[in-house]
Amino acid sequence: MDVPFWNKDIETADRSRLEEIQLRRLREIVGWALNTPFYKKQLRNAKISSPDDIRSLCDLKKIPFTTKDDLRINFPRGLLAVEMKDVVRIHSSSGTTGIPTVIYYSREDIENWTEMLARCITASGAARSDIFQNMMTYGMFTGGLGLHYGAERVGMAVIPIGGGNTKRQIKTMKDFGTTVLHVTPSYLLHVHTKLEEAEIKREELVLRKAFTGAEPHSEDIRKKIEQVWGIDVYNSYGLSELNGPGVAFECIYKNDMHLWEDGYIVEIIDPETGQQVKDGDSGEVVLTNLIRKASPILRYRTRDLAYLHTDPCPCGRTHRRLSRIMGRTDDMLIINGINVFPSQIEEVVMKIPQVATNYIIQVEKRGELDHLTVKVEIYPKLFLGDPSQLEALKGRIIEDLRSAIILHPSVELHEPNALPVSEGKAKRVIDLRPKE
Amino acid sequence: MKLTQISVFLENRKGRLYDVCSLLGKNNINIRALTIAETESFGVLRIVVDKSDLAVKTLKANGFVANLTDVIAVEVDDKPGGLAGILKIFADSDINVEYMYGFVEKFSDNALLVFRFEDTDKAQKILTDKGLKVVTRKEIEGL
């Protein structure tokens, strides 16, 4: 097979050269991190007060982990390492308890991120002759804009359509002759079921590839998408704390995702002990971002469970491959590509006086898409005997949830004590989606 | 005379209506009139019973969500245009009916209808002024 490269020199660099780059960039990034009150303290505890205290990559392990909570506590500027005039982009995600997290990018940071994405896109075999329909949500979420920049860098014709509006998506594929998609796997399957309704046949489309991301999915789901659409599908991994999409991406061999090790240092740890697992064992993915100075992030606990392949890839890239995400170490749910913590839902329903204290969060598949149902018990003293009052209550809960978590859930009202009483938070979550 | 209607919240679960009826039956409470207001995901059962105090106490003790509402039961001529006749009186007197439903049985040749009015006191006064027969609490208990 003819293996396409964006930057063959770096993508095939040997380990010692990669580690040399990692060490140099780690020193630089520690220097930037020391500009922030948060890391100044973290690094002081690790006896690091200047980049010179990082003598080898082993010194990375002295640095304490960074968690999502750290980002939340330091919202909005506690982790900003440059002056605001040097920031050119801000991305933010909603928080689990109402406090969001924020990531800043300087011009150079965006440039570095874009280069990584150009590598990803090229590795999949997509090229400047392609027409790229970006079906990920634009806005504060990094998935949309990230790939957009990478695709323009490669020179593809970018259609920034964003998510939703299925008929328009299909029509756009036909009108512009889209060849490559970027989309969540569940939505791509859903779109296929709507071809007939849109009165467009598969043969009228010239699709050849899709990049799927934002939600973990199995090899079976990939095969299903490839089979129903007749295209090649490539898995993508990223998170805004590490720039966004493009941390790891599959090459034409589709045997898991090359993680760009000149841009990110990956560690796999035992989530209980924080110790490194043996090579090839699975554990929690911990990542250090080497290529963003505005918001430096060192040893970030992603809560994603995966492993690294130890065998080389036939494509010749030396950057190790990350497996599919096998699960989470926390209770975060991923519903149609949107991250939702049960605590966000709890916060909304508990604020409403007509709702009693018990609730259940249920997620299931309806067709190809995920569907969220929130079941609540009503508070007897506030029942006035009027169904329209209850309909209004239901409407209010749906509206409040929609603005808190972006998703549009169903809400069920129940009698007091009708829902199973649960002890832990996890028990309140019933995930009926088929396990991969 | 005002009567007490009991509203019971029913979640969408098999056998829930049976649970209410069987509980009332076991306690020797007789349902005189009933209707169900339903939505796609829940229902509200509205009943007029012979022993309303006991019914509410029993329902609440068994975990049901129940609430009391004032209604008026009116005798209506059981012939074509009977209901229209009485609705005309309400319309002419600017009395708003929120909902209404029929009795299970009747105790004269007239039909019996339960009305929930926006303004129960005003409706009661008009009914008395017009000499219409309304059902008393005593009658309900002994029906």
pLDDT tens digits along B64-102: 999 999 999 999 888 899 999 999 999 999 999 999 999
Q: B9: which chain A residues are within 8 Å (Cβ-Cβ)?
A: 378, 383, 390, 413, 415
pLDDT digits (tens, 9 = 90+) for A376-424: 999 888 888 889 899 999 999 999 999 888 889 999 999 988 888 755 4
Q: How would residue A436 be classed by pLDDT, with cut points 50, 70 and 90?
A: low
**Mean pLDDT, residues A160-189:** 95
Rounded to whole angstroms, the Cα distance separating B140 from B136 reads 6
Residue after which a domain boundary falls, among A288, A306, A330: A330
Q: Are A56 and A292 in contact (CB under 8 A)?
A: no
pLDDT digits (tens, 9 = 90+) for A228-265: 999 999 999 999 899 999 999 999 999 999 999 999 99
A322 falls within a domain: yes
CA of residue B108 relative to chain centroid, distance: 18
CA of residue A332 relative to chain centroid, distance: 12
Residues A82 and A38 grouped into a single domain:
yes
Phi, psi of A318 (to 5 degrees): -95, -15
With CB atoms and an 8 Å threshold, state whether A386 touches B11: no
CATH, range B3-70: 3.30.2130.10
With CB atoms and an 8 Å threshold, state whether B11 touches A414: yes
Residues A397 and A284 grouped into a single domain:
no
With CB atoms and an 8 Å threshold, state whether B42 touches A413: yes
pLDDT digits (tens, 9 = 90+) for B4-35: 999 999 998 899 999 999 999 999 999 999 99
- Whether A389 and chain B come into contact, CB under 8 Å, resolves to no
- What rounded mean pLDDT belongs to chain A? 93
pLDDT at A1 over 80: no
Q: Which residues is A132 bridged to in the sheet?
A: A158, A180
With CB atoms and an 8 Å threshold, state whether A380 touches B65: yes
H helices present in A34-93, as ranges: 37-45, 68-73
Residues A388 and A244 grouped into a single domain:
no
CATH of residue A56? 3.40.50.12780
**Mean pLDDT, residues B114-136:** 92
Identify the DSSP state of B13. Answer: -
Domain covering B71-142: architecture: 2-Layer Sandwich (3.30)
Residues A226 and A340 grouped into a single domain:
no
Q: B10: which chain A residues are within 8 Å (Cβ-Cβ)?
A: 415
Q: Which domain holds residue A76?
A: 8-330
A2 falls within a domain: no
A368 falls within a domain: yes
Q: A419: which chain B residues are within 8 Å (Cβ-Cβ)?
A: none
Which of A411-429 are b and which e, b meaning 16 or more Cβ less than 10 Å from the residue's Cβ? bbbbbbebbeeeeeeeebb
Residue after which a domain boundary falls, among A289, A310, A330: A330
Best residue in A378, A390, A398 for a mutation probing chain B (most B CBs within 10 Å): A390
Residues A323 and A355 grouped into a single domain:
no
Which residue in chain A is spatially nearest to B70 when comparing CA positions?
A385
Count of CA atoms in the C-beta half-sphere (13 A) of A407: 23
The closest CB to that of B11, out of A380, A384, A413, belongs to A413
Q: How would residue A100 be classed by pLDDT, with cut points 50, 70 and 90?
A: confident
Tell me the residue length of chain A.
436
Residues A48 and A138 grouped into a single domain:
yes
Q: Are A82 and A36 in contact (CB under 8 A)?
A: no
Residues A255 and A343 grouped into a single domain:
no
Q: Are B31 and B59 in contact (CB under 8 A)?
A: no
Residues A316 and A365 grouped into a single domain:
no
With CB atoms and an 8 Å threshold, state whether A384 touches B67: yes
Best residue in B6, B8, B9, B120 for a mutation probing chain A (most A CBs within 10 Å): B9
Give me the interface pTM, i.e. the ipTM.
0.82
Rounded to whole angstroms, the Cα distance separating A362 from A430 reads 5
A422 falls within a domain: yes
A1 falls within a domain: no
H helices present in A106-262, as ranges: 107-123, 142-154, 166-176, 185-193, 219-229
Residues A52 and A88 grouped into a single domain:
yes
Tell me the residue length of chain B.
143
Q: Is the dihedral of CA B116, B117, B122, B126 positive or negative?
A: negative
Residue after which a domain boundary falls, among A330, A351, A382: A330
Q: How would residue A425 be classed by pLDDT, with cut points 50, 70 and 90?
A: very low
Among A300-309, A420-429, B96-105, B106-115, the range with the most confident prediction by mean pLDDT is A300-309
Residues A316 and A362 grouped into a single domain:
no
pLDDT digits (tens, 9 = 90+) for B48-64: 999 999 999 999 999 89
**Burial (CB count <10 Å: 0-12, 13-18, 19+), residue B105:** exposed
CATH of residue A395? 3.30.300.30
A271 falls within a domain: yes
Q: Are A231 and A207 in contact (CB under 8 A)?
A: yes
pLDDT at A426: 47
Residues A276 and A406 grouped into a single domain:
no
Q: A414: which chain B residues are within 8 Å (Cβ-Cβ)?
A: 11
Query: How many domains are there within chain A?
Result: 2
For CATH 3.30.2130.10, list the domain ranges present in chain B: 3-70, 71-142
Rounded to whole angstroms, the Cα distance separating A249 from A11 reads 12
**Burial (CB count <10 Å: 0-12, 13-18, 19+), residue B93:** middle
- Whether A424 and chain B come into contact, CB under 8 Å, resolves to no
pLDDT digits (tens, 9 = 90+) for A321-337: 999 999 889 888 999 98
With CB atoms and an 8 Å threshold, state whether A412 touches B12: yes
Q: Residue type for A424, please?
A: G
User: The pTM is what?
Assistant: 0.80
Which tokens belong to B43? 């229902």
pLDDT at A98: 64
Q: Are strands A300-306 and A283-289 parallel, antiparallel or unpaired?
A: antiparallel
